[in-house]
């Protein structure tokens, strides 16, 4: 039984710096590349950042360059998304995803989390 449980979302002010967490269980965490996706109202779900098994950032969307950082702690089976300088357009449901591969590819994870809402006020 695999579970990916996101936390850290909520209402934040523009310019804020929350950190999202995704706690994984039921899988050998270090064997999976991980990613964060997001879906804003009326928009398609998009990949935000991805990280390899060993902790290298392998993807980021241009809109978060210089503002977001993805990291992982294989000892604690947790992946993080540090979000800095938030903008209202960052408002979305953020999803954690896992894929059984050394590095992330495609948009077809093996597992999805349920998502956490991040709302950025002006």
pLDDT per residue of the chain (122 residues) written in tens, 0 to 9:
999 999 999 999 999 999 999 999 999 999 999 999 999 999 999 999 999 999 999 999 999 999 999 999 999 999 999 999 999 999 999 999 999 999 898 889 999 999 999 999 99
pLDDT at position 39 is: 98
pLDDT at position 71 is: 98
Helix, strand, coil in percent for the chain, rounding step 5 = 5, 50, 45
pLDDT at position 106 is: 87
pLDDT at position 119 is: 98
Q: How far apart are CA 104 and CA 20, in angstroms?
A: 19
């Amino acid at each position: 039984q695999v579970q990916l449980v996101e936390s850290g979302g909520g209402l934040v002010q523009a310019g804020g710096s929350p950190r999202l967490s995704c706690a994984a269980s039921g899988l050998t965490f270090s064997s999976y590349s991980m990613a964060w996706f997001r879906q804003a109202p009326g928009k398609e779900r998009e990949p935000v950042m991805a990280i390899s098994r060993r902790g290298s950032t392998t993807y980021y969307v241009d809109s978060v360059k210089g503002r977001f950082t993805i990291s992982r702690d294989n000892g604690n089976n947790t992946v993080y998304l540090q979000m800095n300088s938030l903008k209202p357009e960052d408002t979305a449901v953020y999803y954690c995803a896992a894929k059984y591969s050394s590095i992330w590819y495609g948009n077809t994870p093996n597992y999805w989390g349920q998502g956490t809402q991040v709302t950025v006020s002006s």
